[in-house]
Amino acid sequence: MKIFSFKGVLYGLSRAHISHTLTSLSFMKNYLSLVKFSHTIFALPFALTGFFVAISVQGRGVDWTKLLLVLLCMVFARSAAMAFNRYLDRDVDAANPRTKIREIPAGIITAKSALIFVVVNCLLFVATTWFINLICFLLSPVALAVVLGYSYTKRFTWLCHVVLGLGLSLAPIGAYLAVMGRFDWIPVLYSLAVLLWVAGFDVIYALQDEEFDRANRLYSMPSFFGKKQALHISEWMHLGTALLMVSGTKSLLSTLPQTGWLLWIGTGVFLLLLLYQHLIVKAEDLSRVNIAFFTTNGIASLLFGSMAILDLLT
């Protein structure tokens, strides 16, 4: 009888442990979904490129601790920005058929919990910059103001896409600053390229909500200019991206002559994928917007970053 009871206790504890583990995994999954963690792939390769460009210019080995701190800053800043955007847009998301299944309007995560998550990530971001260097720490409130401030812009300006691009463009220059402690032209050129790249593909993504945004007095380029004109603006933005990417690559090659064909291949593939997304998305056919937004841009960023870093390290 005692043995049976002992086994029963063990069985109960095992079930409780499994239940707790499943609850924890579900909790993590909900918050990862809230911040669209998979979208980190857009800016992360450029941040790593900025980091390894600085390492190469500096001529020293990789500081793995600093690299970890840079990655943590990326995660904390982006998580805060995305969660704040979801918190601020909770009523808008609830009214939009396309977004009403998101975590806050669907009741999966409460608005209060999301706001607490934002505050925690902001504090962790600032604390992490303290361990990098003084300039990153001093500029951390500025970075947060940009990435959090974007969430308000759709309420008063169609330049909201540019502000989003500005937020993600901090990745390469921020990673470079973490190593060098100063600004330089190469990461600035890549940051400007990221700004126009992100703004351009966000305009494409916003095509889906043109009618909803106009009906609810929300600002976006599609709702303000119409689908066709917004697509033309996106094309011009990505033309600017191409010029800046080529300028950044040429500047990097002149500074680090040991780099070469891999970097050019990465740049070329990136630009071809930019062209591809404009070929598959038309004002009258938005069926492939998600392919252009998620898949194409994710692959473009990943391939460029991989080629650039491999070139810098070999």
Residue 130 confidence (pLDDT) above 80: yes
CATH number where 111 lies: 1.10.357.140
What does the DSSP assignment read for 93-159? HHHSTTTTTSTTTTTSS-HHHHHHHHHHHHHHHHHHHHTT-HHHHHHHHHHHHHHHHHHHHTTT-TT
The pLDDT tens digits of the residues spanning 138-154 come to 999 999 999 999 999 99
pLDDT of residue 210: 94
Instruction: Tell me the one-letter amino acid at 305.
Output: G
Contacts of 311 by beta carbon, 8 Å cutoff, 6+ apart: 259, 260, 261, 262, 263, 266
pLDDT band per the 50, 70, 90 thresholds, residue 289: confident
| 290 closest CA partner among 39, 34, 100, 81 | 39
Q: Does 19 map to a domain?
A: no
Tokens of 218: 């929300």
pLDDT for position 309:
93
Percent of the chain with pLDDT over 90: 71
Domain range for 103 = 39-313
Residue 127 resides in a domain? yes
pLDDT band at 35, cuts 50/70/90?
low
* Cα 153 to Cα 225: distance, rounded to the nearest angstrom: 17
* Cα–Cα distance measured from residue 53 to residue 182, given in angstroms and rounded to the nearest whole number: 13
pLDDT at residue 7, as a whole number? 59
Please report whether residue 100 resides in a domain.
yes
Q: Which residues lie closer than 8 Å to 106 by C-beta, 6 or more apart?
A: 100
- Range from 18-22, 114-118, 132-136, 182-186 carrying the lowest mean pLDDT: 18-22
Element holding 256 (H helix, E strand): none
Region of 217 (left: φ > 0; alpha: ψ -120 to 50; beta: rest) is left
CB 55 within 8 A of CB 311: no
* CA contacts within 13 A on the Cβ side of 14: 6
Phi, psi for 173 (deg, rounded to 5)? -70, -35
pLDDT of residue 38: 62
How far CA 142 is from CA of 7, 76, 80, in Å, comes to 58, 15, 14
Looking at the chain, the whole-number percentage of residues with pLDDT higher than 70 is 89
pLDDT at 96: 93
pLDDT reported for residue 1: 45
176: in domain = yes
Residue 59 lies in a domain: yes
Residues 6+ apart with CB under 8 A from 58: 179, 180
Amino acid at 30: N
Whether pLDDT at 161 is above 80: yes
| pTM of the model as a whole | 0.89
Distance from the Cα of residue 34 to its chain's centroid: 13
Q: Tell me how far apart the alpha carbons of residues 106 and 97 are, in angstroms, rounded to a whole number.
A: 12
CB 124 within 8 A of CB 78: no
Structural domain count of the chain: 1
Residue 6 falls inside a structural domain? no
Please say whether the beta carbons of 208 and 171 come within 8 A.
Answer: no
Is residue 15 one of the residues assigned to a domain?
no
Strands (DSSP E) found in 14-83: none
Nearest to 291, CA basis, from 283, 280, 307: 280
Mean predicted confidence (pLDDT) in 101-128 = 93
Cα 63 to Cα 69: distance, rounded to the nearest angstrom: 10
State residue 39's pLDDT score. 65
Asked, for residue 160, whether it belongs to a domain, the answer is yes
